[in-house]
Every structure is written in structure tokens, then in C-alpha cells.
Chains A and B, each alone.
Chain A
């Protein structure tokens, strides 16, 4: 049974008309750790990818694909990396349902276009950051 309702699929398909470059959803799953969550997450990502021919899904197992898991810094599953022309560092830990789903769609569009949409002042400040920053954003589906 599909996770996305028909009207949601139509809305997302329309949003995806803005995609310009290819996007890869790199999905790390490990059934031994979180079978149901990993299966649902894979299912959701495949449904999303089916809405545009610019999106592909790669499913990896951190225990088998160890080198890539290490390169992406995988510590938990299910983890989805939204990759455009390069890995911009955008990750979704857990299933991006509810409000987070719109952020997933936004991330796909932004990485596809390689555009942040931020103000020039913000971009100028970000260009001078003295060190690296990892931003964790905790949310719930509702």
C-alpha cells in the first residue's frame, strides 16, 4: 500500500517540476537494528523518487557498505542523505513524516538546483565561518 496519498503525489510531482539537476537519495538501512522503520523509510524514499526521473535511490547497509557508511558518517539508521551535484551535508535521521516531509521535498529541490535561496548578506557571512558546524534539528511528525 502506498504511503503517499494520490493528492500528495500530485502536489509533489508539481513541485518537482522545479528540479534542474539529478538528486540521489542515499538510504542507509539495517533491518537487524530497526526493521520496520528502515522498511518504511525505504518505501517512502522510493515513492518520492518515482515522482521525478531526476531522482534515484540507493539503498545501502552500513554493515556491508562500510566504506561508504564511514565516508557519510553513518551512526544510526534509517538515515537518508540528500545528494545533488555533491554531498551538501543534508541528512534525515528517521522517517521524515508529517512536517519533516515538506523539508525533505524542499531539500530535494534545493540540492537539485544547488541554490540556497539565502540573502546575499547571509551567504557572505557563511563564506567566512571560522569552523565547521553541524546543525541538529529535532522534530516530531505532528
Chain B
């Protein structure tokens, strides 16, 4: 969540939402949360686990560009 929230501070185009998975089982099912942390960007870029800043940024750019390939 840290990188996500720091990117939200740096850019007014980025929003960061931390979701407590066990309190929102319906959301967790919808996004197929099997392991945490699970990150979903604009619905189509998804991954599990923490990433270093450059790779996380790369995913944000892909999400912003509408590119869903992993």
C-alpha cells in the first residue's frame, strides 16, 4: 500500500485504496483474492505480492495506458 499511497500523493491521476479483504468477502471474490497483498489497477492490471518501485511504476503506466498484458 505504501508505494500506491505515495504515488497518489505524487500524482492527481492516481488513487490508492487499501481494502481489508476479510471484511469485504464479496469484493475479494470479485477480484479473486487468493493471496495478499493483491493489487488491482484499473480492473485489468493485477498481481500478487510486493514489487520494487520501478516495476510497480511500470504496472501503473500500463494501467493508465489501458494495457492489460502482464
- Interface residues in chain A, defined as those with a beta carbon under 8 Å from any beta carbon in chain B: 34, 37, 76, 82, 84, 88-97, 100, 103, 106-107, 110-111, 114-119, 122-123, 125-127, 129-141
- In the bound complex, residues from chain B placing their C-beta under 8 Å from that of A34 are 23
Within 8 A of A (CB), among B13-66: 13-24, 27-28, 31, 33, 36-42, 53-54, 57, 60-61, 63-66
B55 to nearest A CB, angstroms?
A: 11
Task: Return A44 CB to nearest CB of chain B, in Å.
Answer: 12
What 3 A-B pairs are tightest by C-beta distance, nearest first?
A94-B20, A89-B15, A116-B10
Cβ A138 vs Cβ B5 within 8 A: no
Which chain B residue lies CB-closest to A75?
B27
* Chain A positions within 8 Å of B15 at CB level: 89-91, 132-135
Flag if B11 contacts A93 (CB, 8 Å). Answer: no
Given contacts A107-B5, A116-B9, contact A133 B17 (CB under 8 A): no
Query: Given B16, B37, B41, which contacts A138 in the complex, CB threshold below 8 Å?
Result: B37
Given B1, B6, B28, B39, which contacts A116 in the complex, CB threshold below 8 Å?
B6
16 further A-B contacts with Cβ under 8 Å, apart from A94-B23, A126-B10, A133-B41, are A34-B23, A76-B27, A90-B5, A90-B15, A91-B16, A92-B17, A93-B17, A103-B2, A122-B10, A133-B63, A135-B16, A136-B41, A137-B16, A137-B19, A137-B37, A138-B38
